[in-house]
């Protein structure tokens, strides 16, 4: 492991320098890796491992025909590298359990039935294990239980891999039956194309992940955009102006500067007027939202958010409810303005 200084705090991380792909290949040379679920993370992780030369098969229910057909389109062959979930689990020594959190609860009796002694059960989210009292996902004692959680969507995992950069991931070991769990975990992190790996626990991964998704990464971001757009429109600004000042400049310019060299560098490369105003107002925004984030974290840690997810997403009408919510967002003036701006930017 390499010791890296993060804001004055030293942490151990695993890079591809001390754990290269060749070492991962050696660690996993006798393993068959079954990726269960070809939805969000499944395609990216399986294709990256396949491209890296690992022995990968897919487990996917044919009842979800869209995902099955997508797997076939991506080159997985029914009966050779594409199987029903139970059969893929039985054939594998490492089972990457990448169906949705609600589906993990539903499919668990099938997966558990086919686990063999010494197998590794791999997660990319600490949800099912941390909240096992709610999910019922309680692994047998004679297997390894491990986690590699890429810090991005499946699309980003695949895109970064193809670009040669990789996406950073956290990793954890919940249960080490074989004595090889840590080595297996890191090797799998390298195999799926991680840029570097930092240690965590199943609990910390899910607490930080659920907080981040509901907060800065998605929930807070969307809410803040909606609020600013509303204020600008109510004060007479046009949809295009309100959208450009709320979303377009952030996504097409400023966030890229943050990515390159940090927030201070972005500030340093903006006008003096923007710098001064942003430096002053960031404190007000921080103090305003801090109570909301504290409430959010408590809701996550208590299991309240998990309960909501499992109840809502397992409902018979959830897909229709979700589409209705997304349709409302898509057809709002804010995001209709966004669609028009994107077309103009792309010259259409």
Indicate which residues carry an active-site annotation. 125
Could you give the CA distance from residue 40 to residue 38 in angstroms, rounded to a whole number? 7
Separation of alpha carbons 306 and 126, rounded Å:
11
| Angstrom distance (rounded) from CA 169 to CA 147 | 10
Give the neighbor-by-neighbor strand order of the sheet with 94-97. 2-6, 9-15, 194-199, 167-175, 144-150, 120-123, 94-97, 33-36, 56-59, 82-83
> What's the Cα-to-Cα distance from 212 to each of 56, 194, 219, 252, rounded to whole Å?
31, 20, 9, 22
Q: What tokens does 273 get? A: 């007027």
Among 6, 24, 100, residue whose Cα is nearest residue 60: 100
> For residues 244 and 344, what is the distance between their CA atoms, to the nearest angstrom?
12
Give 176's contacts (C-beta < 8 A, 6+ positions apart).
Answer: 144, 182
Per the CB < 8 A criterion, the answer to whether 143 and 118 are in contact is: yes
Q: Please tell me the distance from the alpha carbon of residue 116 to that of residue 102, in angstroms, as a whole number.
A: 24
Cα torsion 62, 67, 73, 79 to 10°: value is: -30
Beta strands 120-123 and 94-97 are: parallel
Radius of gyration of the chain (CA): 22
């Amino acid at each position: 492991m390499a010791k890296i200084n993060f804001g004055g705090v030293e942490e151990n991380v695993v890079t591809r320098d001390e754990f290269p792909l060749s070492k991962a290949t050696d660690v996993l040379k006798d393993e068959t890796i079954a990726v269960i679920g070809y939805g969000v993370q499944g395609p990216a992780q399986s294709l990256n491992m396949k491209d890296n030369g690992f022995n990968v098969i897919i487990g996917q229910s044919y009842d979800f025909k869209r995902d099955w057909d997508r797997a076939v389109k991506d080159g997985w062959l029914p009966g050779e590298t594409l199987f029903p979930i139970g059969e893929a689990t039985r054939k594998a020594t490492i089972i990457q359990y990448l169906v949705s959190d609600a589906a993990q609860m539903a499919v668990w009796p099938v997966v558990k039935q086919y686990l063999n002694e010494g197998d590794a059960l791999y997660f990319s989210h600490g949800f099912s294990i941390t909240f096992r009292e709610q999910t019922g996902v309680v692994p047998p004692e004679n297997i390894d239980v491990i986690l590699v959680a890429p810090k991005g969507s499946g699309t980003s995992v695949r895109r970064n891999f193809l670009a040669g950069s990789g996406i950073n991931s956290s990793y954890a070991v919940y249960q080490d039956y074989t004595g090889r769990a840590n080595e297996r975990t890191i090797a799998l992190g390298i195999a799926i194309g991680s840029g570097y790996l930092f240690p965590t626990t199943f609990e910390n991964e899910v607490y930080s992940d659920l907080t981040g998704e509901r907060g800065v990464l998605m929930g807070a971001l969307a809410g803040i955009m909606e609020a600013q757009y509303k204020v600008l429109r109510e004060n007479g600004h046009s949809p295009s102006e309100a959208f450009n000042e709320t979303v377009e400049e952030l996504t097409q310019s400023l966030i890229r500067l943050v990515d390159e060299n940090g927030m201070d560098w972005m500030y340093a490369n903006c006008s003096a007027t923007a710098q001064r105003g942003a430096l002053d107002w960031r404190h007000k925004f921080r103090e305003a939202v801090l109570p909301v984030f504290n409430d959010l974290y408590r809701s996550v840690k208590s299991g309240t958010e998990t309960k909501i997810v499992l109840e809502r997403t397992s409902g018979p009408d959830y897909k229709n409810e979700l589409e209705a919510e997304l349709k409302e967002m898509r057809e709002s003036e804010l995001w209709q303005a966004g669609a028009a701006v994107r077309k103009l930017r792309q010259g259409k």
